[in-house]
Amino acid sequence: MLVDSGLNGINISIDSLDRNTFKNVTGHDRLPEILKGINILQDLNFENIKINAVLLNGINASDKDFESWGEFIKKNKVDFRYIELMQTGDNLDYFKKYHVSSKIFKEYLNKNNWIYQTLGKDAGPALNYINPEYKGKFGIIAPYSKDFCRSCNRLRITSRGDLRLCLFGNTGISIRHLLQKDDQIKELQDLIMGQMKFKKESHHLELGETGLTKNLSTTGG
C-alpha cells in the first residue's frame, strides 16, 4: 500500500540488530517484524530506504555493533545513519548517562577505509561514507560537531502545526490555519518564505540550550 500510494522514501528506526538490545531500548520485541518489512520493500524494488539508530554509550556503540551493521549493509542497499544523542528539555540525566561523541563511529569508518562522500546540493544533515564492496552506505548525523548547521536545509512542523526553523530553536509560528484547504498554498508559501530570514546560523546545543524542544516526540519531519 505504501508503494502504491507513490511514496518513494522511508526512514526506519533500528537502534540495534541484536534482538535483546532492540527490545531493551524500545520496549518492544519487534525487530524480526521490522526486518521482514524491509525485505518486503526490497522485493517491491523500493529504492530509498534509510535506517536510523541513536548512538548510545555502552548499548550500541562498540566496534562489534558497527561491524554488525557493516555486514547488513554489505548485502542490503540501504543508508544506515548513526544519530548522536541530543539533549532535550526533559532528558538531561539520560543524556549524561548515554551520550557519546559520534567521533568514535567516524574513527571506525576512517580506520576501515570508508570513503567520505561529498555533499550534494540536496543533501541532508548526514555525513555519508561509501565503500565499493558494500551495497549500502554509512552515515553520521553529528549535531555537536563544528559547523553542523552551516549547510542546514531543514524546517520542522510540530504535531500541533507550528513551523520551527530549527529543531532546537526558541521561536515558532503556527501555520495550522493555512493547512486546511488546497487553495491556501500561495499564502502558506509566502508565510514560510517570510520566516526564512529569521533562520539562524547555529543552534546552541553545546551550551545546553535546547530551545522549545521538551522532547522529540512532539516534532515531525
pLDDT tens track for 68-122: 999 999 999 999 999 998 887 677 888 899 999 999 999 999 999 899 987 665 5
Rounded Cα distance, 46 and 3, in Å? 7
pLDDT(200) > 90: no
Rounded Cα distance, 11 and 168, in Å? 21
Looking at the chain, the whole-number percentage of residues with pLDDT higher than 70 is: 81
Residue 119 confidence (pLDDT): 65
For the record, the C-alpha cell of 219 comes out as 516534532
CB-based contact 63:108 (threshold 8 Å): yes
Instruction: Enter the pTM of the model.
Output: 0.77
Residue 114 CB coordination number (10 Å): 18
CB-based contact 12:80 (threshold 8 Å): no
162/126: higher pLDDT: 162
Residue whose entry in the numeric block shows the C-alpha cell 509566502: 190
Q: What average pLDDT does the chain have?
A: 85
DSSP 205: G
First to last CA, the chain: 21
Rounded Cα distance, 105 and 120, in Å? 22
Please list the residue range(s) of the chain that carry CATH number 3.20.20.70.
9-141
Given pLDDT bands bounded at 50, 70 and 90, which one contains residue 214? low
Rounded Cα distance, 78 and 47, in Å? 8
Residue 210 confidence (pLDDT): 54
Given pLDDT bands bounded at 50, 70 and 90, which one contains residue 199? confident
Rg (C-alpha) for the chain, rounded Å, is 19
Residue 211 confidence (pLDDT): 57
Rounded Cα distance, 143 and 126, in Å? 10
Q: Which CATH number does 9-141 carry? A: 3.20.20.70
Which tens digits make up the pLDDT trace of 151-189?
677 788 888 888 988 776 667 789 999 999 999 999 999
